[in-house]
Amino acid sequence: MSPFLDPAILFFVFGLLAGGLRSNLEIPPPIARFLSLYLLMALGLKGGFALAASGLTAQVSVSLLAALGLAVVVPALGYGLLRRFLNGFDAAAIAATYGSVSAVTFITAVQYLDTHAVAYGGHMAAAMALMESPAIVMAVLLANMVRQRERRAAGLAPDAAHPAPSLRHILHESFTDGAQLLLLGAMAVGIITGEAGQAAMKPFASDLFKGMLAFFLLDMGLLAARHMGDLRGKSPWLLAYALLGPLVHATLALGLAAALGLPPGNGALLMVLAASASYIAVPAVVRVAIPEANPSLYVGMSLGLTFPFNILLGIPLYVGVAQRVLS
């Protein structure tokens, strides 16, 4: 099936068009929240059932380590590049956004692999969970360094009245995020219950999945269309980064997958994770931890350009390249 004939993708395109036409069509926020939690729960269960069947093999460990390495390298490279034409706070926020991951992009890629009968390891859901937090921690530390440097340059003492969030607080916020906890909890349930649990949960975790994803992507299309306006008047360099950055990050992941001998399905998902950008977890933390950064940049870029690019073009591209190079 062509990706453009996939019902879930077509609903995303429909959402983009409806949003572009300024339609009053909308998915109530509580329903959108439920859909996102359902998708994460179903994905965690699928990953847990797969891990229960395969066990913790060497390939699983290598894939998780590769994901963790990318979660450090991608934001570090991004910050170094973005700092050339942005202030330190915006550079750190955008680096965190592109160093972290988009769960919806990953879930869409999993559905794409299922539709095209490409095998992959359920442990890649754990890889997604591992990749969410390192970029956030790095960005907060970088922003704190910028903040202290600016105060020293201005001859000011550290701001005792408004201290920066502690590393412990940031780690707590990152690792106890409800969505991430649900994903890991569902994965644990899948591992514990195994084949019997998979049979019992099949109507919930498998049969409903495609329809729920289509409904959620409709909402994401509407949301993405609204955020495209945030990019008006922004630097062409930022627009280029939003489109070319994912390709560079996916290429890094492909090289790592080839070096480690990962199979095509796992390599494709590693590429998707490296190429995706967070628009939920990172903004929630960054708005508190780095209030100096401009949300219209890091949210507008990730949701207005990178997310639609990956959903419509990136996922088929990454999977096709991974199958050619890693087969």
pLDDT tens string 192-226: 998 899 899 988 888 888 888 888 888 888 888 88
Q: Can you give the pTM of this predicted structure?
A: 0.83
For 110, the domain range is: 29-151+165-326
Cα torsion through 218, 222, 224, 229, rounded to 10: 170
Tokens of 301: 């870029």
Residue type, 205: A
Average pLDDT over residues 251-264: 95
Does pLDDT of 310 surpass 90?
Answer: yes
Taken as a whole, the chain contains a residue count of: 327
Angle at which helix 124-132 crosses helix 103-115, to 10 degrees, equals 160
Average pLDDT over residues 150-158: 65
The better pLDDT of the pair 19, 173 is held by 19
Q: Which residue has the higher pLDDT, 283 or 199?
A: 199
**pLDDT attached to residue 171:** 61
pLDDT of residue 324: 96
* pLDDT confidence tier of residue 161, bands split at 50, 70 and 90: very low
Assess whether pLDDT exceeds 90 at residue 82.
yes
Q: Report whether 184 contacts 133 (CB < 8 A).
A: no
Domain contains 231: yes
Report residue 66's pLDDT band, with 50, 70 and 90 as the boundaries.
very high
- Residue 69 falls inside a structural domain: yes
Residue 229 within any structural domain of the chain: yes
Q: Give the amino acid at 43.
A: L
Asked if residue 228 is part of any domain, the answer here is yes
* CATH number, domain with residue 169: 1.20.1530.20
Phi, then psi, of 208 in degrees rounded to 5:
-85, -15
User: Do the domain assignments include residue 24?
Assistant: no
Q: What is the mean pLDDT of residues 273-301?
A: 84
Would you say residue 5 lies in a domain? no
164 confidence band (pLDDT: 50, 70, 90): low
pLDDT at residue 69, as a whole number = 93
Cβ atoms within 10 Å of 53's Cβ, excluding its own: 13
**pLDDT band per the 50, 70, 90 thresholds, residue 156:** low
> Whole-angstrom Cα distance, residue 165 to residue 144?
9
Residue 169 has what pLDDT? 64
pLDDT score for 294: 86
- Is the pLDDT confidence value at 322 over 90? yes
Which of 87-91, 221-225, 284-288, 309-313 bottoms out in mean pLDDT, i.e. has the lowest? Answer: 284-288
Q: How many domains does the chain have?
A: 1
Separation between Cα atoms, residue 189 and residue 186, nearest integer Å: 5
Q: Considering the domain boundaries, does residue 245 fall inside one? A: yes
- pLDDT reading at 162 higher than 50: no
Whether residue 156 lies inside any domain: the answer is: no
b/e burial code for range 123-160 (CB count within 10 A of at least 16 → b): bbbbbbbbbbbbbbbbbbebbbebbeeeeeeeeeeeee
